[in-house]
Amino acid sequence: MRTLNMDPFWRTSIGFDRLFDLVDESLRFEPEDHYPPCNIVRTGDNSYRISLAVAGFGPDQIGITVDRNTLIVSGRANDRPNEAAYLHRGIAGRSFDRRFKLADYVEVKGASLENGLLQIDLQRELPESMKPRRIEIKAGQAIAANDRVRSIDQAKVA
List all residues 6 or more positions away from 5 whose beta carbon is below 8 Å from its beta carbon. none
Q: Is a pLDDT exceeding 80 seen at residue 33?
A: no
DSSP 149: P
Give tens-digit pLDDT for 37-80: 999 999 998 899 999 999 888 899 999 999 988 899 999 987 66
Q: How many domains does the chain have?
A: 2
150 falls within a domain: no
- In this structure, the answer to whether residues 62 and 83 fall within a common structural domain is yes
46 falls within a domain: yes
Give tens-digit pLDDT for 82-127: 667 878 877 777 889 998 888 888 999 999 999 889 999 999 988 8
CA 147, CA 107: separation in Å to the nearest integer?
43
Give tens-digit pLDDT for 144-155: 555 555 556 655
CB 55 within 8 A of CB 91: yes
Give the model's pLDDT for residue 72. 93
146 falls within a domain: no
List all residues 6 or more positions away from 97 whose beta carbon is below 8 Å from its beta carbon. 72, 73, 74
Phi, psi of 133, deg, nearest 5: -135, 150
Which residue, 76, 96, 100, is CA-closest to 33?
96
Give the model's pLDDT for residue 108. 93
Domain containing residue 22: 1-30
CB 98 within 8 A of CB 65: no
- In this structure, the answer to whether residues 102 and 46 fall within a common structural domain is yes
- In this structure, the answer to whether residues 54 and 75 fall within a common structural domain is yes
Output b/e per residue, 20-31; b: 16+ Cβ within 10 A.
eeeebeeeeeee
CATH code, 95: 2.60.40.790
Which residue, 124, 111, 114, is CA-closest to 63?
111
pTM of the model: 0.64
pLDDT band at 15 (very low <50, low <70, confident <90, very high): low
- In this structure, the answer to whether residues 15 and 69 fall within a common structural domain is no
149 falls within a domain: no
List all residues 6 or more positions away from 43 whose beta carbon is below 8 Å from its beta carbon. 49, 121
- In this structure, the answer to whether residues 23 and 49 fall within a common structural domain is no
124 falls within a domain: yes
136 falls within a domain: no
153 falls within a domain: no
- In this structure, the answer to whether residues 17 and 61 fall within a common structural domain is no
- In this structure, the answer to whether residues 20 and 87 fall within a common structural domain is no
- In this structure, the answer to whether residues 55 and 89 fall within a common structural domain is yes
- In this structure, the answer to whether residues 59 and 120 fall within a common structural domain is yes
- In this structure, the answer to whether residues 46 and 115 fall within a common structural domain is yes
141 falls within a domain: no
